[in-house]
């Protein structure tokens, strides 16, 4: 074998081994890389109270209650299988509304998620408002498209 063929083989083998090694490491750390838990995760695992974690899902339709005279908001986060009650005292992001994907960070205490931060998640769909309206009127609207802007 010529020297450059040796080097070529070496680089290919080294890259393949490196790829496998990194893949195994990422699989081993899967739990830590995942950014949030679903309501079903929370209901099944019943995390110890006081442990900080993130809960992600959709804001349940009709569940948002804003307490008068304060910045406290109560709502439920659902993955359409299970739902978790959330309390939050603070300013919500612009995209927050019923049906919207959110990620909340806080502690799960006595069956209620006490959030200290609420982040809004948006999907990969982009279209003009008129197209969104047309889709909704024709009944072509898919459930995963999220609610329209106010």
Partner 1 sequence: MADLHRFANPTRFLKLAGLIQPWALAVFLISATVGLYMAFFTAPADYQQGESARIMYVHVPASWMSMFCYTVMAVASAVSLIWKHPLADVSARATAPIGAAFTFLALATGSLWGKPMWGTWWVWDARLTSVLVLLFLHIGYMALQGAFDDRVRAAKASAILALVGFVNVPIIKFSVDWWNTLHQPASVVKMSGSSIHPSMLWPLLIMAIAFKAYYVWVLLVRMRQELVANKVRILRLKQVHGG
Distance CA 83, CA 39 (A): 6
Query: How are beta strands 83-89 and 112-121 bridged, if at all?
Result: parallel
Q: Is 150 helix (H, G, I), strand (E, B) or coil?
A: coil
Looking at 13, 89, 111, 148, which residue binds partner 1 (CB under 8 A)? Answer: 148
- Say whether residue 122 binds partner 1 (CB under 8 A): yes
Q: Please report how close the Cβ of residue 109 comes to partner 1 at its closest, in angstroms.
A: 23
Q: Which stretch binds partner 1 (CB under 8 A): 42-50, 64-72, 87-95, 107-115?
A: 87-95
* Residue whose tokens read 């005292």: 89
Looking at 128, 139, 140, 143, which residue binds partner 1 (CB under 8 A)? Answer: 128
Q: Please report how close the Cβ of residue 66 comes to partner 1 at its closest, in angstroms.
A: 17
Looking at 13, 19, 44, 71, which residue binds partner 1 (CB under 8 A)? Answer: 19
Distance CA 18, CA 4 (A): 21
Taking alpha carbons only, the member of 44, 102, 36 closest to residue 73 is 102
């Amino acid at each position: 074998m010529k020297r450059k063929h040796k080097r070529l083989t070496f680089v290919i083998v080294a890259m393949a081994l490196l790829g496998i090694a990194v893949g195994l490491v990422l699989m081993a750390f899967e739990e830590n890389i995942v950014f949030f838990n679903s309501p079903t995760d929370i209901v099944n695992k019943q995390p110890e109270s006081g442990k900080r974690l993130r809960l992600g899902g959709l804001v349940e339709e009709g569940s948002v209650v804003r307490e008068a005279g304060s910045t406290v908001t109560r709502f439920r986060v659902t993955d359409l299988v299970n739902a978790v009650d959330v309390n939050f005292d603070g300013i919500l992001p612009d995209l927050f509304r019923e049906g919207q994907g959110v990620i909340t960070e806080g502690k799960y205490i006595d069956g209620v998620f006490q959030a200290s931060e609420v982040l809004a998640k948006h999907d990969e769909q982009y279209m003009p408002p008129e197209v969104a309206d047309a889709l909704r009127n024709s009944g072509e609207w898919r459930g995963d498209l999220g609610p329209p802007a106010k």
